[in-house]
Structure 1
Amino acid sequence: MCTAFAADLKQFNGELDHVHLLVHYPPKVQLSKLVNSLKGVSARLLRREYDTHVRRYLWGGHFWSGSYFAGSCGGAPLTVVQRYIERQQRPVD
C-alpha cells in the first residue's frame, strides 16, 4: 500500500494491542486515506492467512479499531523516532 501512495515504510513494531509505523509520505497524500488503506489491506491479508487465530481478537467483527493516532516527527531526528519504535514489543504471533 505504501507504494501505491508513494510512501515509504521506515520502521514497524508494536505492542499487544497496537502497532507503531514510521511512514514517510508526500504532502499530497491524505493521511486518513493512507491509514485506512493500510488497515483494510492488512486486515484482509491477516484474516485470510490466520483467520482462526485472529477471530478471537476482533472488535465487533473488525480487525482494527476505527481510530488511529498520527503524530508528526518533523522536529525529531529520524534515528530517535526509529529507536523508539524498535524498542516497542513485537505484536503477538
Structure 2
Amino acid sequence: MQKSSDIRTGRHCVFMMHVHLVFVTKYRKKVFTKRLLMDTERYMRKVCADFESQLVEFNGEQDHVHLLVEYPPKVAVSKLVNSLKGVSSRMLRKEHFSWLKKFLWGCRLWSPSYFAGSCGGAPLQVIRAYIEQQNCPK
C-alpha cells in the first residue's frame, strides 16, 4: 500500500482529517484589508501549530475568512475554533486598534457563530481552489 503524504500517523491511529472553517465579523462589518488578512493568517497558523494542526489554505474578504485546516483526531474542532477566533481577535486589536475601533461592537471582532464543514466528500483541491478564489481586498 502506497503511503500518501497527506496521511498522518499517531500512536494508535492513521488519519487524514480536514475541516473547512468560515468565520464572519460581527454584524458583517467590512473590517479586513489585505494587511489585516495577512496578519490574521499569521496568528491562525501559530494557533494551528499549537494544536498540532496545519493551516493548509487561508483567504477571505472584507467581512469573513475561510480556512482549510488539517487536524489530528485528538483535537476538538470547537476548541480549535475558540482559540483561532480568540487569539486572532486579541492580536488584531492589540496591533491594529486604531483601525479596528470604528468597527468593533463591545470589543468583539467575530460573530459568535461559525461554519465548520467536513472535507471528506469533496476533493481537497476543489475546496482549496474555492478558498483561493475569494475576493481578497486590495
Same fold (TM over 0.5): yes
Alignment length (residue pairs): 92
User: Match for 2:106 among 60, 63, 66?
Assistant: 60
* Contact map agreement 1:58 1:64 (CA 8 A) in 2: no
Whether 1:3 aligns to 2:49 is yes
Match of 1:28 in 2: 74
Q: Normalising by structure 2, what TM-score?
A: 0.63
Aligned partner letter, 1:6? E
Alignment of 1:9-48 (within 5 A): 9-48=55-94
Partners of 1:35 and 1:59 lie apart in 2 by 20
TM-superposed deviation, 1:60: 3.1
Give per-residue Cα distances to partners, 1:1-53, cap 9 Å, x unaligned.
Answer: 11111110000011221100000111211111100101111111111111010
Partner SS, residue 115 of structure 2: coil
TM-superposed deviation, 1:61: 2.2
Q: Among the aligned pairs, what percent are the same residue? A: 61
Q: Normalising by structure 1, what TM-score?
A: 0.91
Unmatched segments (≥5 aa) in structure 1 = none
TM-superposed deviation, 1:62: 0.4
Match of 1:72 in 2: 118
Aligned partner letter, 2:56? K
Partners of 2:64 and 2:104 lie apart in 1 by 13
Partners of 2:62 and 2:105 lie apart in 1 by 14
Q: Which moved more, 1:63-72 or 1:51-60?
A: 51-60
Match of 2:134 in 1: 88
* Contact map agreement 1:59 1:65 (CA 8 A) in 2: no
Unmatched segments (≥5 aa) in structure 2 = 1-46
